[in-house]
Amino acid sequence: VLTQFNAACQRINWSQDQELKTRVFKELAAGEKFATVGISHLTTSRQHLSKPSVTAERVPAGWKLDGFVPWVTGAVHADYIVTGGVCEEGSQILALVQTDQEGVAPQPPIEMLSMTGSQTGAVKLNQVIVPDQCLIAGPVENVMKRPDGQGGARSLTTSALALGVAGRAIAKLGEEAAKRPDLLEIYQPFNTECEGICAEMFATLKAGTLNGGFSENIRGQSNSLVLRASQALLAAVKGAGFVKGHPAERAIREAMFFLVWSCPQPVVHANMKEFACVLD
């Protein structure tokens, strides 16, 4: 929930309208209102479909959004949703939508494999009019891509979270290894790999050389690590880890999330090749 709130704030800050930013940030900082994002359909989700999930059309009053935003964390509780749509010629816009506007219909939260408590659900946009003041960016091609590397599927935010889940699983594996020395040869390589990826990521951030290719590479490594580490933990703790509430089963469920959350297609493909033991 926090990552989606932060993502909304980050993108609202992209707006050139200082009056809009001042008003909205004042409400958000005071805790009076809650903002979230619905942007996966502009980056990774439903990109395989021929028809855009949400269309955007220029109208005299601003922009008209029509369609279905598939994934919105905390949708039923949000006051603002940063979302967007695709124009007829293929360009995209990003806008701030108020949930009390006519035509905005948050759907009931979805029961998911993990993180159901995030209250994630879809939002229907039935010819919602967004005034020009609430246009954050666009119309441009790939509106979510930023030259500064901020946000979206090409940022390091999701990779950092994957490494956090992996690190927790590896730490639990270390606790098991302290009681069972035979697990040291499993724990130590995992721990070294996790520390290495983290070091590479922070070194790149410090050097200011972050780019899309590096982000995808780190995401692929992070995905691979969290999936393998969580399964290794389950194997180490055996049947106890298969019981709901155990750290191992939680790690397994949360690790699966990184296969679908803001995951660029090249990363998905690389992970699937690893599953199939297909080597380059």
Are 152 and 144 in contact by the 8 Å Cβ rule? The answer is yes
| pLDDT tens per residue, range 168-209 | 999 999 999 999 999 999 999 999 999 999 999 999 888 888
- The pTM of this model reads 0.75
For the chain, the average pLDDT equals 91
* 101: DSSP letter: S
CATH class for domain 2-140?
mainly beta
Residue 210 main-chain phi, psi, to 5 deg: -65, 135
Q: Number of C-alpha atoms within 13 angstroms, CB side, residue 185?
A: 1
Could you tell me if residue 114 is left (phi over 0), alpha (psi between -120 and 50 degrees) or otherwise beta? beta
pLDDT value for 45:
56
Nearest to 69 by CA among 88, 87, 90, 45: 45
| Domain residue extents for the chain | 2-140, 157-275
Residues 89-121: tens digit of each pLDDT: 999 999 999 999 999 999 999 888 877 888 899
Q: What is the mean pLDDT of residues 203-218?
A: 86
Question: Which CATH number is 157-275 given?
Answer: 1.20.140.10
Q: State how far the Cα of 159 lies from the Cα of 219, in Å rounded to an integer.
A: 5
Taking residues 72-77, report their average pLDDT. Answer: 94
